[in-house]
Amino acid sequence: MINNSSLKKFNRLSQKQLDNQFVNELISGLSCSPFEASAILDTVYKVYSLYFQYNGSIKPGQIIFHVVSIDSPPNLTLANCKQIAVILTFNNPTEDLPIREKQGVIDLRRHRIQRVCNEAFQQGGLLTVEDLANRLFNCGQRTICRDIQHLKKNNIILPLRSTIKDMGRSISHRSLIIQHWLKGKEYSDIARDTFHSVYSVKNYIDKFKRVIALSNENYDVHTIAFLVKISAPLAEEYFNIYNSFSIISQRKKELKLFLKKKVRISQHKRRKQK
C-alpha cells in the first residue's frame, strides 16, 4: 500500500522550490495560465542557463559574453540573430604576461583576439569585428582589421562571423583555403586550420577547379562567375592564384586529370547538340 502521507510531504516540498514560486508569481501577478507560466520559465532557463550553472566555474580573468550563435544564417540582421552566452578568457596572466614582456602590447592584443575568437567558436558562438573593437578591446575597428590582416599574413584565420558565414568584401580566407590545398594539405587539415567545415572546403576547391577548367576553354571572367555561381572578383582571384602560385606536383596532376575530364564532357555535349 502506498504511503499517501509521504507523497503529500514531498509534493509540499517540491512546491516550495524557486521554480514553483516563479510560476505561481506569473499565474497570480500576470494572469498567465499554468502552461504559459511553465513556457516562460523554460525560456528563462534557455536564456540565463549559463548564469545559473557556472557555480564558481568562471575563473579570474574570464567574463560571460553574449555573441551571435553559429546557427544564425548570414542573411539575418544582428538584431534578429539568435544570441548565446559564452565564457571568454580576457586575461590569463600565465599566457599573457610573457607575451607582454617579450613582444609588447600589440602582440598581446593579437594573442587575446585569437583566444577569445576561438573560445567563442568552440562554444557555438561567433564574434564580429564590432564585438572585438567596441565591446571587448575598446579600440577602433581599423585597429582590429589591421590585427586580422596581420594574422592572415601569418596563415592564421580567425573564426569570426564574417569568415565562417562568408560575409563582407574579404575573399582572402577562400584564397588561403585554395593555397593550402595547392600546397598539398588534405581537406580535414584545411578545415581544422581555417575553422571551416570539410564540406565548405570541398565546395571552395571544386569551384576553383571549375573556374580553371572554364578559363582554359576561353570563357571570360563574368561568364565563368555566372556558370560557377561566384562573384567575378573571386573568379579572377582564383585564376590569378592558379597562374602565380607554386603548385606541388600532386595537385598539378589532379588538376590536369580534372581538366581532361571536363574537356571530354564538353566535347561529348557538343557532339550531342550537333
Q: What is the pTM of this model?
A: 0.54
pLDDT of residue 142: 93
Residue 129 CA to residue 109 CA, distance in Å, equals: 14
For residue 46, give every residue at least 6 positions away whose Cβ sits within 8 Å of its Cβ, in sequence order, or none: none
Instruction: For residues 153 and 78, state if they share a domain.
Output: yes
Instruction: For residues 158 and 237, state if they share a domain.
Output: no
- How distant, in Å, are the alpha carbons of 81, 172, 207 from that of 176? 28, 6, 14
* pLDDT tens for each residue of 86-130: 999 999 998 899 999 999 999 999 999 999 998 988 888 889 999
Q: Which domain holds residue 60?
A: 52-169
Last residue of a domain, one of 121, 138, 169: 169
Number of domains observed in the structure of the chain? 2
- How distant, in Å, are the alpha carbons of 91, 99, 107, 143, 146 from that of 104? 15, 7, 6, 15, 16
First and final C-alpha spacing in the chain? 89
> Using only C-alpha atoms, what is the Rg of the chain?
27
Instruction: For residues 80 and 159, state if they share a domain.
Output: yes
Judge whether residue 4 has pLDDT over 50.
Answer: yes
- Which residue has 510531504 as its cell numbers? 9
Instruction: For residues 103 and 192, state if they share a domain.
Output: no
Instruction: For residues 125 and 65, state if they share a domain.
Output: yes
Judge whether residue 1 has pLDDT over 50.
Answer: no
**CA 153, 155, 160, 165 torsion-angle sign:** positive
User: CA angle, corner 208, sides to 204 and 211, nearest 5?
Assistant: 140
Last residue of a domain, one of 127, 147, 169: 169
* 177 vs 112, more confident: 112
Q: Is residue 268 packed enough to be buried (19+ CB in 10 Å), middle (13-18) or exposed (0-12)?
A: exposed
Share the mean pLDDT of the chain.
81
Q: Which range has the worst mean pLDDT, 43-47, 228-232, 270-274?
A: 270-274
Residue 211 CA to residue 220 CA, distance in Å, equals: 10
* pLDDT tens for each residue of 48-95: 766 665 555 678 899 989 898 888 877 777 778 888 889 999 999 988
Instruction: For residues 111 and 215, state if they share a domain.
Output: no
